[in-house]
């Protein structure tokens, strides 16, 4: 009887945990709301950056013009790298010298050979004195001992010099890497896929570190901003809701089908914590832009209607 009670209690506990988990999971999902439309929403940029020089120097080339589409890591400008390239060539030669020195163990082998000879001479004199005590004067024995000890130390010195030469190779490699980094930083690259909005410098101008060279705007993804009345919709219900933007215009060059209509979709990704004086709070959704005849359709500053909800 007791076992049955315990088993029933376990079953009830597991069921309660499952129900609670389902409730928590459903709470994390946005609650479906009745679809409504926010008029006159603003189209805004998600990303807008001014690319700048990382190091000072003279601009020797610009690989873009205003209106160009650029890709992430594309080189847009080149700062004079002549000095850096010469420094790299010098360090490259120094590295080759250091590698030669690090691979040369002749001094170590010569010191070891000298030590072997000194040891043999000392042992020979000691053996003679074993057979004929006093045949080799003590001063000669001490001199040979000193010579042998000096030869052993010379082996250590030669090995130390070889180890230092190997470390010098690493030093030169690090210096070479540092020059390569400098050469790379003299190239001004795009941090994202974007459009060139403005060119701020010309070839031949001297720029300091941090000097803006071009203004880039991201057009493939845009932000649709609007304001929602707090008394009509709780912020908790708006976040994560799907949105739809309908955008239409007339193309007079297309005689067969001049009326163009495009649909953009996304989700509400931001709900402001601030409520404005009129009882409104700001929201925005990010949508993927589209092109028509090589040009982006949605443009920052345009007003559109945004439908929110299922």
Q: Across the 310 residues of the chain, what is the mean pLDDT of every consecutive 10-residue run?
A: 51 46 45 85 96 96 94 96 96 92 83 84 82 82 83 85 89 95 96 95 95 96 95 91 94 92 95 93 95 94 93
pLDDT of residue 249: 93
pLDDT of residue 8: 54
pLDDT of residue 17: 43
- Answer yes or no: are the C-beta atoms of 220 and 58 closer than 8 Å: no
pLDDT of residue 140: 82
* Stated length of the chain: 310
The per-type count for the chain, helices as H runs and strands as E runs, is 5, 16
Looking up tokens 């700062």, which residue turns up? 79
- Calpha distance 223→44 (Å, rounded): 5
Cα–Cα–Cα angle for 233, 238, 244, nearest 5°?
Answer: 110
- Answer yes or no: are the C-beta atoms of 192 and 49 closer than 8 Å: yes
Looking up tokens 């404005």, which residue turns up? 276
pLDDT of residue 120: 85
pLDDT of residue 32: 65
Q: What is the pTM of this model?
A: 0.70
């Amino acid at each position: 009887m007791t076992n049955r009670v315990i088993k029933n209690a376990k079953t009830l506990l597991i069921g309660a945990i499952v129900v609670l988990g389902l409730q928590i999971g459903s709470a994390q999902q946005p609650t479906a709301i009745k679809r409504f439309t926010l008029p006159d929403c603003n189209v805004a940029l998600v990303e807008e950056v001014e690319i700048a020089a990382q190091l000072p120097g003279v601009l020797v080339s610009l690989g873009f013009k205003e209106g160009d589409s650029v890709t992430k890591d594309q080189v847009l400008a080149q700062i004079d790298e002549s000095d850096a390239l010469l420094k790299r060539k010098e360090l490259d030669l120094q590295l080759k010298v250091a590698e030669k020195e690090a691979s040369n163990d002749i001094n170590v082998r010569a010191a070891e050979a000298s030590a072997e000879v000194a040891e043999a001479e000392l042992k020979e004199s000691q053996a003679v004195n074993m057979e004929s005590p006093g045949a080799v004067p003590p001063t000669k024995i001490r001199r040979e001992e000193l010579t042998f000890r000096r030869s052993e130390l010379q082996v250590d010195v030669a090995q130390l010099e070889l180890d230092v030469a190997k470390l010098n190779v690493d030093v030169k490699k690090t210096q070479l890497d540092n020059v390569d980094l400098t050469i790379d930083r003299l190239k001004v690259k795009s941090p994202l896929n974007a459009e060139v909005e403005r060119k701020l410098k010309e070839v031949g101008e001297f720029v300091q570190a941090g000097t803006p060279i071009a203004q880039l705007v991201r057009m493939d993804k845009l932000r649709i901003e609007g304001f929602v009345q707090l008394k009509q919709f709780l912020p908790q219900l708006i976040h994560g809701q799907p949105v739809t933007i309908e955008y239409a215009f007339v193309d007079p060059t297309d005689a067969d089908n001049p009326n163009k209509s495009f649909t953009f979709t996304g989700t509400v990704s931001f709900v402001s914590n601030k409520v404005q004086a009129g009882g409104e709070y700001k929201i925005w959704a990010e949508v993927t832009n589209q092109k028509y005849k090589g040009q982006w359709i949605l443009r920052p500053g345009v007003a559109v209607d945004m439908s929110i909800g299922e």
